[in-house]
Amino acid sequence: MTSTYNNEIKLGEVTYRLSATTDSEESLTLDLLGSLDSGEVIADGRLRLPVEGGATIGKLLSRVLGAHTRLRSRPNRHANANQPWTESLDADLRTAWLAESDDNAAKRIRTLADDMQRSPTAIRARLPRVGCDPDIPGRELSEVAAALLGGKSGTTQGKT
C-alpha cells in the first residue's frame, strides 16, 4: 500500500515542498523541491531509505542541517584568527604592551585584540612569548615568570 505525506514551507522567496512516500513495506522515498516565486527550481533531491530508518534519518538530517546553519551564521569576529604570528606582529604586540598605559590588563588586552583583529585569549597567550607580563601592562616578563609561563623573559627578548 502506498502512502504519501506532503508538507510545504515558504522561506523568503523560496517555497520548499517535501514529500515522503512509502511504496512498499520496505522503502521510504523523500523528495525535496525548492523553487522561487518565478518557478525557477533552486533545490531538488531524492533520498531513498528503509522505512524503519525514517525517524532516525530524520533526526540525523535535523542535527546535520542545524549544525551547518549554526556554522554559517556564526560571524568570524576575528579576521586574523588562526593566522600565523610573524616577527613583525610579535614586535608590534610587544611595543604596544610595553607602551605607557593606565589601562588594567583585561582592558588593554581587549584593546590590542581589537586593534590586531585577534581574540583576547590569543593576545593574552602570546604576550609571554614576546617577553611581556600578561597581568601588568607595560611590564616585561621576569625570568622566573618566563620559566613558569613558557615564554621569554624581558631580559632575554631579542637575544638568540
**Least confident stretch, 12-21, 115-124, 147-156:** 147-156
Confidence of residue 26 (pLDDT cuts 50, 70, 90): confident
CA–CA separation, 122 vs 83, rounded Å?
11
What number is the average pLDDT over the span 31-37? 92
Domains of the chain: 3-73 (2.20.130), 87-149 (no CATH)
Stretch (H or E) spanning 68: helix 54-73
Q: Identify the band that residue 73 occupies on the pLDDT scale cut at 50, 70 and 90.
A: low
The H or E element that residue 109 is part of is helix 105-116
Q: Which strand ranges, in their side-by-side order, compose the sheet holding 41-50?
A: 3-11, 14-22, 27-36, 41-50
**Does 34 score more than 50 pLDDT?**
yes
Mean pLDDT to the nearest integer, 90-119: 92
Range scoring the smallest mean pLDDT among 55-64, 84-93, 115-124 = 55-64
Beta bridge partners of 63: none
Mean of the pLDDT values across residues 135-155? 82
